[in-house]
């Protein structure tokens, strides 16, 4: 296609379009507050901007997940604090059964109290948060235990599963967040089995068997220490969750700053650029209007 425009006019239009584009870009920046509204604005930073946004989104998702983990971990820590306190009461009750004033009648009453403590301890093992049994391991829709004091043994077999869930730290690492009730309350080692210890004490008190009561009491202190160790695990997890949450918050602030540096417009500079472009456009149009227009007809006349 052959253009009817002379080279000077063509160059004028090219330059005018450039000025118009600059003015439109500056106006977009002023309107949106962003210097990158489309790929063509700054193609060299788009890939970096998209990657940074993806990192921010991932960090925010980790923070959301940590919030749910915190809820569960706090509930676990509170349940174990209650379990430790309750087991202290079990130890006090056991000591009462071997005093010089203990009788068959008083021990029968203590046995009933021990049964109540056992029922309460199983209730702590069955703690649920937001519809999840937090000590049931990965099978968290099933309560880990049932209890029936008329049965022998009174506490059911463990109904949950292993606890393999982990939380992701915003630095990319992971850490374990829970123990199951079998580990905490129903250890395969009789020397640290909470349920067995309380059951044995209850049976000994109900039978008014001084020797058995003494034997049941002998291991209670060690089991109390074991429960405190499980409580310490949840305290450590709480610290890890808090540290990870703080890390994520700092990380997100840094990423948001990076995104701002990449995409946020300098409004003062944008306004100045828009005004300059408008001035240049007006000057170009005025200059073009003053150029003499001479045609062949002018010479023929």
pLDDT attached to residue 39: 47
Nearest residue to 180 via CA among 188, 190, 168: 188
CATH class of 51-257: mainly alpha
Run means of pLDDT, 10 residues per run, the chain, 301 residues: 56 58 56 56 74 94 96 97 98 91 93 97 97 96 95 96 96 96 96 97 96 95 96 97 97 92 62 60 60 56 53
Nearest residue to 194 via CA among 84, 57, 45: 84
C-alpha–C-alpha distance, residues 284 and 119, integer Å: 91
Q: Please state the pTM of the whole predicted model.
A: 0.76
- Phi and psi torsions of 64, nearest 5°: -60, -45
Q: Which residues contact 125 (CB under 8 A, 6 or more apart)?
A: 135, 144, 145, 181, 184, 185, 186
Between CA 17 and CA 22, with CA 21 as vertex, the angle to 5 degrees is 120
Q: Which two tokens stand for residue 87?
A: 């087991």
Whole-angstrom CA distances from 130 to 35, 72, 75, 141, 242 are 44, 9, 11, 11, 21
In this structure, how many other beta carbons lie within 10 angstroms of the beta carbon of residue 152? 8
Contact call for residues 166 and 62 (beta carbons, < 8 A): no
- Burial of 85-96, coded b for 16+ CB within 10 Å and e otherwise, reads ebbeebbebbeb
pLDDT attached to residue 47: 85
């Amino acid at each position: 296609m052959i253009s009817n425009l002379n080279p000077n006019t063509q160059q004028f239009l090219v330059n005018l379009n450039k000025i118009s584009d600059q003015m439109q870009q500056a106006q977009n920046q002023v309107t949106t507050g962003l210097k990158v509204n489309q790929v063509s604005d700054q193609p060299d930073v788009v890939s970096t901007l998209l990657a940074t946004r993806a990192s921010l989104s991932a960090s925010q998702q980790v923070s959301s997940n940590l919030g749910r983990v915190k809820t569960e971990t706090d509930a676990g820590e509170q349940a174990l604090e209650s379990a430790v306190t309750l087991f202290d009461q079990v130890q006090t009750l056991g000591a009462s059964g071997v005093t010089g004033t203990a009788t068959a009648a008083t021990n029968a009453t203590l046995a009933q109290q021990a049964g109540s403590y056992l029922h309460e301890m199983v209730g702590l093992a069955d703690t649920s948060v937001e519809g999840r049994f937090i000590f049931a391991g990965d099978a968290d829709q099933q309560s880990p235990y049932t209890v029936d004091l008329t049965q022998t043994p009174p506490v059911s077999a463990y109904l949950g599963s292993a606890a393999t869930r982990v939380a992701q730290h915003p630095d990319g690492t992971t850490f374990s967040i829970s123990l199951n009730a079998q580990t905490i309350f129903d250890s395969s080692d009789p020397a640290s089995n909470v349920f067995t210890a309380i059951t044995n004490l209850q049976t000994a008190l109900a039978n008014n068997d001084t020797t058995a009561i003494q034997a049941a009491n002998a291991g209670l202190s060690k089991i109390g220490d074991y429960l405190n160790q499980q409580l310490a695990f949840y305290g450590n997890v709480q610290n890890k969750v808090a540290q990870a949450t703080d890390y994520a918050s700092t990380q997100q602030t840094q990423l948001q700053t990076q995104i701002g540096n990449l995409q946020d417009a300098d409004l003062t500079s944008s306004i100045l650029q828009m005004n300059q472009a408008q001035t240049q456009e007006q000057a170009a149009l005025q200059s073009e209007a003053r150029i003499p227009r001479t045609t062949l007809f002018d010479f023929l006349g």
